[in-house]
Structure 1
């Protein structure tokens, strides 16, 4: 399943249900963008009227307008975030339920093929990454994109020449983000595997706690636990380091940008082509634009984490059972309860070869029969075939002459 199909699937089955709430959050994202842009724009009349022209008639109006803009931004941010958090938790519950439902219905072979600890890791670690990308990622995509557009409009309104210089930072940040997002996908997969190993180890640890005590293996298990935790720690550190790499790059780019703008602005001011109030309003808009540019540059990595996790979760949800219940099958009429295996052939994996080959057995009803043999000879397999935990590749199994298939 490619990235495009994963996005479509997540939207169709999990986020489409909450489209009204997403639109609600998007509406408040627009208000956040407008109020943030207003804060930058208000510096223009504030400096011009209050400091340059010393107009006392606006001494209360402009400060109150700035307070109002910040308040509206804060309230809107709260409403947008709480809405998306609510959606994220709903999506998490549905993903986890769909996965558990699939595992409950799954063939025994599917469950035995993978340790329960790894399923638990999928259920927690992977699902959290998916919901983070849907809730935090989608909110930031709306909020920061619209905010950036609004601030760019303020910047162009104040001075289009300076704005063109500042815009150069956006594609540079995108290039860095794209490079790091490739790395984050690989590291996330590795971290999920280590998380699965740790969960598997913990399941085995609690299951075999008596044996550890009997054989005095406490120190050995402590060493194993330390090893598993160290492996996971290293992978999580790599993820955080990859995310953090954006900071020095963005800080350096911003430093170059501000230095270039101050150099060029000073020449424009000297030529009377730029007023001080316009420059400060422009500078405020550009500084406020730094956060959305940085957040948007990190989004690619957040979405890559989510896609990587979804590529492991969705196949579990979508898996089809090889053993199908027959809706039109007849009920077996028990008489003596005699069970017959007729030329039964069975394998778990084709590559491993047959576990049972041309088996013919009769278990007489009303009598106790013992299966004796070395470990791995197929005793448990024979018993598992009777209730159809697995289906034979060829041959037949009958109860009182009636096929169980």
Structure 2
């Protein structure tokens, strides 16, 4: 009973997978077919011409042999060779036409899906990237993006060229001799059964291969990005061993795919060889014994041999299609991932009048973790600076992430000027907030480009003014090309303090009513910290500022200081009030830093 149940479940599983493959094919054609209908129609016409010219070659061989070599008819000595030449010319031009058109369509499809993927990836929430390693994600996309193109091209070329060529050639064979055609066609059923069995094995192996190759490329990318840490901690050998292990697994899986894919070759060749040999033997016997026309036999064998290549390609179609569909399916898995912080139906734009921020009994936990915020409530007054301090892991940076709607709280609500931020559009919310992260992030481009990301419509003069206010102009002008100096990958050509000052300049250029600083001076030396602190004090005027700080010296002048401890507000007040509170957490932090010069981490 257990075996019967297992077989039944496997059968259902195979049926479900076939149904899924058909649904995926319909989706691919629905999304791309109409866009390229003219191109595919032209390519199909070209492929039909290829099929017809190929079948014509087999059909005309009968007259070539009988009229020229048997009858010695001089009247056709020019017309028949010219007809053969013309068929080759048509086939060559048609092959060129379909090849160019399908390549252009394929390249357009890849570009469209790349644009679509990037657009979708930018819409996905931050927690998606927390659950998926960015390097492996990029590698996986790079491998899978051609799956849709290959699926479409395989389907079109197989139907319009190989299938029609095979049908026309079989028609020519039946026209010549239906008995020999039946002998030749006996090779079909066993090959079809074998290919079906191979496809089921290939599906799983291909998926594993894609995942392993993505991990290999991801490991290489991560190593390149963190090469300084790799060398500083002498991690070369450890990472080599780990990556080489992944490479071995990927190689073994690729070899497995090669074995499965090529397994059809010997069987196909053997069965086809038997069929061709039987046809030659039987036709030769009839020609010798019964005097059948050698032209008819030659034409039939020509058609049979010409039919072998399209038949072999069609036999391997399911195997190739399975590989392409696995890649396409993995692309759609990403495209179908819904944004988890989607705008609410009917969401309106945020209108900031004063900039008051209120957290009301907000609770939050990261997926799979414990509660980070346990009913946190506070008000950040409009136009004032509110600082969050406390030990690492207490929830300070999470407060900023929730304000930006990188995540949504499990309970409670966050309002700006009385508007629940879940009821407004994310775009309008984030355009009203200037953000300086703890780890500065720079993108490919020049120094000017990276500052201008704060406000793309800003003029060069405004960009340079923001740089001056962030105390960044001095080192910018010292660069070889000034503001036009490329920053390198992730700003690798700049120091940590320089990257942070560019990040601050970007926030200043945004000129938003709310300013969020997540330990914005952490990467600065003492001199730069003093300069940037002055710039920040100027930028804070008239704005609502929410700042996370470990160095208490940077928030002494804050209008309100909140001590966050284990997901709750433990204390609140000004620096003077909190530092005088006996046995208070802030007083202990202040005493610790004043006495030992340490930060609260």
| TM-score normalised to structure 1 length | 0.91
Q: CA deviation at 1:364?
A: 6.4
* Cα distance between partner residues in 1 of 2:157 and 2:26: 18
Match of 1:356 in 2: 373
The reply to whether residue 24 of structure 1 matches residue 55 of structure 2 is: no
What SS class does the counterpart of residue 395 from structure 1 fall into?
A: strand
Distance 1:179 1:378 in 2: 55
Alignment of 1:298 onto 2:316: yes
Counterpart check, 1:284 vs 2:334: no
Equivalent in the alignment of 2:351:
331
Tell me, in whole angstroms, the C-alpha distance in 2 between the residues paired with 1:263 and 1:402.
88
Residue among 395, 399, 412 paired with 1:378: 395
Deviation at 1:402, TM superposition (A): 5.2
Q: Are 2:279 and 1:250 equivalent residues in the alignment?
A: no
1:13 to 31, 34, 41: 31
Q: Residues 60 and 256 (structure 1 numbering): CA distance in 2 closer, same or farther, change over 3 Å?
A: same
Q: 1:216 to 1:330 in 2, by over 3 A?
A: closer
Q: Which runs of 5+ in 2 are unaligned?
A: 1-18, 423-601
Give the match's secondary structure for 2:374. strand
Helix, strand or coil: the match of 1:355? Answer: strand
Equivalence for 2:72: 54
Kindly state the Cα deviation for residue 401 of structure 1 after the two structures are TM-superposed: 5.7
**Deviation of 1:238 (Å):** 2.5
Q: Out of 98-107 and 167-176, give the one that drifted further.
A: 167-176
Q: Distance in 2 between matches of 1:362 and 1:266?
A: 98
Residue 216 (1) aligns with residue 237 (2): no
Match of 2:92 among 74, 78, 102: 74
Q: Is the 8 A contact 1:84 1:139 kept in 2?
A: no
Identify the match of residue 388 of structure 1 among 376, 385, 405: 405
Contact residue 15 and residue 91 of structure 1 kept, 8 A = no
Q: Displacement, 1:65?
A: 1.9
Cα distance in 2 between the residues matched to 1:322 and 1:193: 24
* Contact 1:45–1:277, Cα closer than 8 Å, also in 2: yes
| CA distance in 2: counterparts of 1:394 and 1:46, whole angstroms | 86
Find the aligned partners of 1:324 and 1:46 in 2 and give their Cα distance: 71
Deviation at 1:224, TM superposition (A): 2.9
Bigger mean CA deviation after superposition, 50-59 or 91-100: 50-59
Q: CA deviation at 1:58?
A: 2.3
Q: Output aligned runs, 1:4-403, within 5 Å.
A: 4-272=22-290, 274-325=292-343, 327-334=347-354, 337=356, 339-349=357-367, 352-361=369-378, 366-367=384-385, 369-375=387-393, 377-399=394-416, 403=420
Superposed displacement of residue 4, structure 1: 2.6
- How many corresponding residue pairs? 401
1:259-301 C-alpha deviation (Å, 9 max, x unpaired): 2212322332244273222111111110110100111111112
Displacement of 1:79 in angstroms is: 0.9
Instruction: Determine helix, strand or coil for the equivalent of 1:389.
Output: coil
- Secondary structure, in 3 states, of the residue corresponding to 2:146? helix
Query: Matched residue of 2:318: which SS?
Result: helix
**Which sits farther off after the overlay, 269-278 or 44-53?**
269-278
SS of the residue 2:387 aligns to: coil
Q: What are the Cα deviations for residues 83-142 of structure 1, in whole angstroms up to 9, with x where unaligned? A: 111111111111111111111111111222211123213322111122112124421331
Larger radius of gyration: 2
- Answer with 62-71 or 181-190: which moved more: 62-71
Hey, what's the Cα distance between the residues in 1 that align with 2:374 and 2:329?
Answer: 37
Match of 1:40, SS state, is helix
Kindly indicate which of the two structures has a greater share of residues assigned to helix.
1
Checking the alignment, whether the CA contact within 8 Å between 1:103 and 1:111 is kept in structure 2 is no
Partner of 2:585: none
**Counterpart contact for 1:189–1:308, Cα < 8 Å:** yes
Structure ranking higher on relative contact order (CA contacts 8 Å, 6+ apart): 1
Is contact 1:130-1:305 (8 Å) kept?
no
Residue 57 (structure 1) shift: 2.7
Where structure 1 has 5 or more consecutive residues not aligned to the other structure, the ranges are none
Choose 113-122 or 44-53, whichever is displaced more.
113-122
